[in-house]
């Protein structure tokens, strides 16, 4: 199943993205070369849903895979973990990984009076409500989850640690959304701006 997204919501350079070939058994790789930022509520370590060998992944799990913008970096334990990953390993890929059954986001939607999580209220809900007014129910929640992950990837690419490596072409971005029921992975295809089954990526 492809999820069609409104590409104008995000600002990415397609040249900064990798694809499925980076993770196939035939890919050039070194051990521990992939940063994964995933939700603490994921239920299974994200390497368990990947077809790549688990020893490639440096995994940081955090509520709703939130990545703070660069101005909030200093007070972020997430970024201390990410910096540790880059200082210890030759990381060549960065995956932001969301999941369709996210309980953190569903619980937050039931009581929006709580603190904002990773710009959900300020950015994602506003953007999704304006862009996809036809969506309701589970389709709305799933679109919110997908767009939230993309906004986190946008935050990630703005950090100097990441942007300098993207510009030097030594790091590639990836955006995965896992279907918790099937363990299938949808990946962001930058050319189309859609989420497609990872094995069908162009």
Chain contacts with Zn ion (rule: CB under 5 A)? 39, 41, 102, 104
Q: Where are the alpha helices (DSSP H) in the chain?
A: 77-88, 103-110, 126-131, 137-158, 160-167
Closest CB to Zn ion among residues 162, 177: 177
CA distance 153 to 103: 20
Is residue 37 within 8 A of residue 94, CB to CB? The reply is yes
Task: Collapse the DSSP code of 3 into the 3-class scheme (helix H, G, I; strand E, B; otherwise coil) and give the result.
Answer: strand
Closest CB to Zn ion among residues 173, 177: 177
CB 98, min distance to Zn ion, A: 7
CA 84 to chain centroid: 19
CB 181, min distance to Zn ion, A: 14
Closest CB to Zn ion among residues 61, 163: 61
Query: Nearest 5°: phi and psi at 97?
Result: -125, 110
Closest CB to Zn ion among residues 29, 57: 57
CB 42, min distance to Zn ion, A: 6
CB 118, min distance to Zn ion, A: 11
């Amino acid at each position: 199943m492809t999820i069609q997204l409104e590409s104008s919501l995000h600002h990415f350079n397609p040249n900064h993205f990798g694809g499925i070939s980076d993770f196939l058994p035939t890919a050039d790789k070194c051990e521990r070369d992939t940063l994964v930022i995933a939700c603490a509520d994921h239920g299974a370590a994200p390497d368990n849903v990947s077809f790549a060998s688990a020893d490639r992944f440096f995994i940081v799990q955090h509520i709703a895979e939130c990545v703070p913008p660069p101005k909030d970096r200093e007070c972020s334990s997430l970024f201390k973990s990410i910096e540790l990953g880059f200082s210890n390993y030759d990381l060549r890929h960065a995956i932001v990984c969301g999941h369709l059954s996210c309980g953190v986001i569903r619980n937050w939607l039931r009581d929006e009076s709580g603190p904002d999580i990773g710009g959900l209220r300020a950015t994602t809900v506003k953007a999704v409500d304006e862009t996809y007014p036809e969506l309701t129910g589970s389709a709305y929640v799933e679109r919110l989850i997908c767009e939230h992950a993309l906004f986190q990837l946008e935050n990630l690419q703005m950090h100097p640690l990441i942007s300098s490596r993207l510009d030097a072409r030594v790091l590639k971005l990836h955006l995965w959304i896992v279907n918790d029921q099937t363990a299938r992975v949808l990946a962001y295809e930058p050319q189309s701006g859609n989420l497609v089954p990872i094995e069908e990526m162009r």
